[in-house]
């Protein structure tokens, strides 16, 4: 019985240590989540203004043709997926990877029909183990990624679409709703068929373009696509931190519950040991009398 009590006490101590770690991780994730949300919101005005200018050019100028606005027969598809470098984030990675693999299985019969740009070690390792065709990868992003951190992969994905290596590009990421909810999302980024469909809402701004609308569009469209990719990464980072905060919060609650159950078991074992000792003492006293 004494050995059993020692084991229970050792287990209680181990769970208490684990609870301290998960509680600390929950607090750190909560702190970083606020900063990630602020950064994602700060990037939104730039993205919206860029969209307004691009829409204005494409909608008001007749005869503009750009590879990023024109649909063509799909021979090869590109996917850019955003995952995390580390785990302990609940179903954050599993949900978006499951959505991607199901989409690929539904749309493609051969690995020659698609390529994957992957951000995050978890996604890279998952896809590499299953021998998916990875075109390019980026890992070790900070919790506050800058555009420079992902510029190379965003530029590569957009350029390979423009050059005809891929005929469409999908963006796969977790859309941040709140700390409890992250929605796995797959959006078709290229070609931008809807960007030229201009909708009038009140008074719109008038722009003059130098050297020409076509020249401006040639520069802005790739930047706009890269901005959407960066915005998805900021959204994904906020989702990751929200998922991590929720997962660590659940782990802390489960640890507290387990400690309570183990403490109860320990007290019962201790009470049983004391009762047995008293019984033995009384039995010995009766035997001597």
Residue range 28-44, pLDDT digits in tens? 999 999 899 888 888 88
Q: Which two tokens stand for residue 150?
A: 């992902």
Give the pTM. 0.84
CA 84 to CA 233: how far, in whole Å?
10
**Res. 1 pLDDT band, cuts 50 70 90:** very low
Question: Where does residue 58 rank: exposed (0-12), middle (13-18), buried (19+ CB within 10 A)?
Answer: buried
Length of the chain: 289
Taking the alpha carbons of 231, 235, 240, 241 in that order, is the dihedral positive or negative? Answer: positive
What mean pLDDT do residues 79-99 have?
94
Residue range 10-26, pLDDT digits in tens? 999 999 999 999 999 99
Taking the alpha carbons of 138, 144, 145, 148 in that order, is the dihedral positive or negative? Answer: negative
The domain ranges of the chain are 28-246
Q: What is the percentage of the chain residues whose pLDDT exceeds 70? A: 91
Q: Is the pLDDT of residue 204 over 60?
A: no
What mean pLDDT do residues 40-68 have?
76
Residue range 230-246, pLDDT digits in tens? 999 999 999 999 999 99
Q: Is the pLDDT of residue 197 over 60?
A: no
Q: Is the pLDDT of residue 195 over 70?
A: no
Question: Where does residue 196 rank: exposed (0-12), middle (13-18), buried (19+ CB within 10 A)?
Answer: middle
CA 26 to CA 37: how far, in whole Å?
16
- Asked if residue 69 lies in contact with residue 196, where contact means CB atoms within 8 angstroms, the answer is yes
**Res. 133 pLDDT band, cuts 50 70 90:** very high
- Asked if residue 160 lies in contact with residue 78, where contact means CB atoms within 8 angstroms, the answer is yes
Q: Which helix (H) or strand (E) holds 39?
A: helix 2-60
Q: 28-246 maps to which CATH number?
A: 3.40.1380.10
CA 259 to CA 267: how far, in whole Å?
12
């Amino acid at each position: 019985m004494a050995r059993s009590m020692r084991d229970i006490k050792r287990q209680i101590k181990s769970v208490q240590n684990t609870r301290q770690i998960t509680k600390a991780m929950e607090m750190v994730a909560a702190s970083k989540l606020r900063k990630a949300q602020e950064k994602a919101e700060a990037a939104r005005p730039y993205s919206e203004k860029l969209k307004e200018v691009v829409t204005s050019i494409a909608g008001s100028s007749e005869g503009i043709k750009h590879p990023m606005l024109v649909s063509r027969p799909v021979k090869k598809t590109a996917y850019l997926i955003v995952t995390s470098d580390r785990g302990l984030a609940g179903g954050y990675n599993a949900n978006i990877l499951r959505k991607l693999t199901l989409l690929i299985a539904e749309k493609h019969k051969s690995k020659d029909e698609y390529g994957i740009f992957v951000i995050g070690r978890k996604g890279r390792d998952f896809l590499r183990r299953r021998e998916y065709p990875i075109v390019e990868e980026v890992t070790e992003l900070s919790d506050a990624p800058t555009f420079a951190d992902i510029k190379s992969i965003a530029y590569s994905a957009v350029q390979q679409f423009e050059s005809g290596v891929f005929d469409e590009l999908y963006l796969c990421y977790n859309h941040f709703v709140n700390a409890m909810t992250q929605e796995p999302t797959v959006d078709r980024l290229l070609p931008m068929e809807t960007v030229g469909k201009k909708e009038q809402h009140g008074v719109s701004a008038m722009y003059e373009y130098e050297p020409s609308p076509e020249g401006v569009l040639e520069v802005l469209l790739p930047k706009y696509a890269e901005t959407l990719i960066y915005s998805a990464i900021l959204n994904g980072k906020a989702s990751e931190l929200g998922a991590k905060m929720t997962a660590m919060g659940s782990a802390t609650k489960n640890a507290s519950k387990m400690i309570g159950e183990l403490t109860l078991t320990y007290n019962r074992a201790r009470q049983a040991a004391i009762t047995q000792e008293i019984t033995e003492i009384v039995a010995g006293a009766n035997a001597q009398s």
